[in-house]
Amino acid sequence: DWTSEQFIDSTVAELKAQLGNDKVVLGLSGGVDSSVAAMLIHQAIGKNLYCIFVDNGLLRKDEFETVLDSYKHMGLNVKGVDAKDKFYSALAGLTDPEQKRKAIGRVFIEVFDDEAHQIEDVKWLAQGTIYPDVIESVSVKGPSATIKSHHNVGGLPDFMKLKVVEPLKTLFKDEVRLVGKALHIDDIIIGRHPFPGPGLAIRILGDITPEKVHVLQQVDHIFISNLKKSGLYDEVWQAGAILTPVQSVGVMGDERTYENVVALRAVTSVDGMTADWSRLPYEFLADVSNEIINKVKGVNRVVYDISSKPPATIEWE
Ligand code: XMP
């Protein structure tokens, strides 16, 4: 039977044989997958692994700083790159979900490529691709049109000319977590919900502005920190908030307001391929809704998404 210890031993041995003294570059996302991939490769080749963590301006509140810190504590050779403005300019005016993904993917590759070129003689690109990513990107290419192009999978541009190493390609998410635990990766990274590569850009319906990102970060932070506080975070597979372009009428004191609607989404799932909406307690939802409306300027209504996948998807875009 499969055990994480065996997986680690055999994978580290294979990586040592495969990579030798070569230099490897890896893009960290703050998520479980890229972090576990990094720690595995780090065990095999140490400082020859060069990690790059890009701030695309679409991460959760304070995420970049917090996660960069824990990577450094884990002993990884990691460089943080602030590229927020590049992403915001590329996204300006784009409203179509797939166009947003493409723009983000393109800028990410540009930024990443710039950084990779600064590593002398780098030979390999490491990726945290896991088994469900492989399956979903195959189905994206099917005749039934695009589902969602997961930009972090597969094709790298010719100009990078790097060989690809993907040590987690055969694993499911729960197995990745077990491997991460066995590698003593920080709990704030291992236990975290999946978060999409395009980040908050696909949770802001319509065009992206830094102001909207700021609003959504505050909403998301209230939702997620309450989930953690009430012990519900680990019961849920993924959770987040969506900023809709819908405005609705509200009342604040004796003033009429006309502000945005946000949706909260929390799902249970095994691997993200199918999902059900989480039956979060009404009292919990009431508290989160009140806190959001009282604290976040620009939001006067909160709704809860009760759709399952299929036919809905987890993300709204
Ligand atoms: P959907 O919305 O397709 O999401 O039900 C399934 C899982 O995939 C994540 N997701 C993405 N991850 N790039 C990513 O890296 C993407 O473009 C993307 N779109 C969706 C989503 O967060 C969920 O975990």
Tell me the CATH number at 143.
3.40.50.620
- Flag whether 93 is marked binding: no
185 shares a domain with 210: no
Residue 313 lies in a domain: no
Q: What is the DSSP letter of 158?
A: G
Please give the pLDDT value at position 186: 86
Range of the domain at 52: 4-190
Q: 11: helix, coil or strand? A: helix
185 shares a domain with 277: no
Please give the pLDDT value at position 271: 80
121 shares a domain with 264: no
In this structure, which residue's CA is closest to atom 6 in ligand 1? 272
Residue 310 lies in a domain: no
Of 190, 219, 251, the one marking the end of a domain is 190
163 shares a domain with 219: no
- Flag whether 253 is marked binding: no
Tally the domains of the chain: 2
152 shares a domain with 21: yes
152 shares a domain with 62: yes
Residue 314 lies in a domain: no
Phi-psi region at 288: left, alpha or beta (left = phi > 0; alpha = psi -120 to 50)? alpha
Of 155, 190, 225, the one marking the end of a domain is 190
Cβ atoms of 186 and 73 within 8 Å: the answer is: yes
List pLDDT tens digits, range 40-75: 999 999 999 999 999 999 999 999 999 999 999 999
List pLDDT tens digits, range 64-113: 999 999 999 999 999 999 999 999 999 999 999 999 999 999 999 899 98
180 shares a domain with 293: no
| Over residues 219-229, mean pLDDT | 98
Distance 4 CA to ligand 1 centre (A): 25
Q: Which two three-digit tokens encode residue 269?
A: 């799932």
The residue to mutate among 98, 149, 224, 315, having the most atoms of ligand 1 within 8 angstroms of its beta carbon, is 315
Closest CA to 249 of 259, 236, 238, 237: 259
CATH number at residue 289: 3.30.300.10
Residue 196 lies in a domain: no
233 alpha-carbon distance from chain centroid: 16
Instruction: Write 85-88 long-range contacts (CB < 8 A, 24+).
Output: 85/57, 86/110, 86/111, 87/56, 87/57, 87/58, 88/57, 88/208, 88/209, 88/210
163 shares a domain with 109: yes
229 shares a domain with 155: no
What is the bridge-based pairing of β-strands 255-268 and 238-252?
Answer: antiparallel
Q: Please give the residue that has the higher pLDDT: either 188 or 56.
A: 56
Distance 120 CA to ligand 1 centre (A): 33
Residue 198 lies in a domain: no
Residue 317 lies in a domain: no
Kindly report the average pLDDT of the chain as a whole number: 92
Distance 202 CA to ligand 1 centre (A): 9
Please give the pLDDT value at position 210: 98
- Flag whether 225 is marked binding: no
Answer whether residue 22 shows pLDDT above 90: yes
Range in 6-15, 81-90, 142-151 the model is least confident about? 142-151
186 shares a domain with 232: no
Whole-angstrom Cα distance, residue 226 to residue 110? 37
* 160 confidence band (pLDDT: 50, 70, 90): low
Q: CA separation (Å) from 197 to 3, 42, 101, 187, 253?
A: 28, 22, 9, 20, 40
- Flag whether 31 is marked binding: yes
* 137 confidence band (pLDDT: 50, 70, 90): low
Please give the pLDDT value at position 140: 44
Answer whether residue 142 shows pLDDT above 70: no
Distance 73 CA to ligand 1 centre (A): 28
- Flag whether 30 is marked binding: yes
Q: Which two three-digit tokens encode residue 251?
A: 């009342």
**Sequence-ordered list of residues with C-beta below 8 angstroms from that of 96, at least 6 positions apart, any chain:** none
**Sequence-ordered list of residues with C-beta below 8 angstroms from that of 237, at least 6 positions apart, any chain:** 193, 194, 267, 268, 269, 270, 272, 275
Provide Rg for the chain, Cα atoms. Answer: 20
Whole-angstrom Cα distance, residue 278 to residue 275? 9
Range in 6-20, 102-116, 146-160, 258-272 the model is least confident about? 146-160
Answer whether residue 226 shows pLDDT above 60: yes
Instruction: Work out which ligand 1 atom sits closest to the CA atom of 193.
Output: 24
Of 190, 216, 236, the one marking the end of a domain is 190
Using CB distances shorter than 6 Å, the residues near ligand 1 are 101, 148, 150-152, 194, 196-198, 238, 272, 309, 313-315
Whole-angstrom Cα distance, residue 317 to residue 148? 8
The model carries a pTM of 0.88
Closest CA to 306 of 271, 272, 265: 265
Q: Report H helices in the chain.
A: 4-19, 32-45, 63-73, 84-91, 97-117, 131-140, 173-182, 187-190, 210-229, 282-295
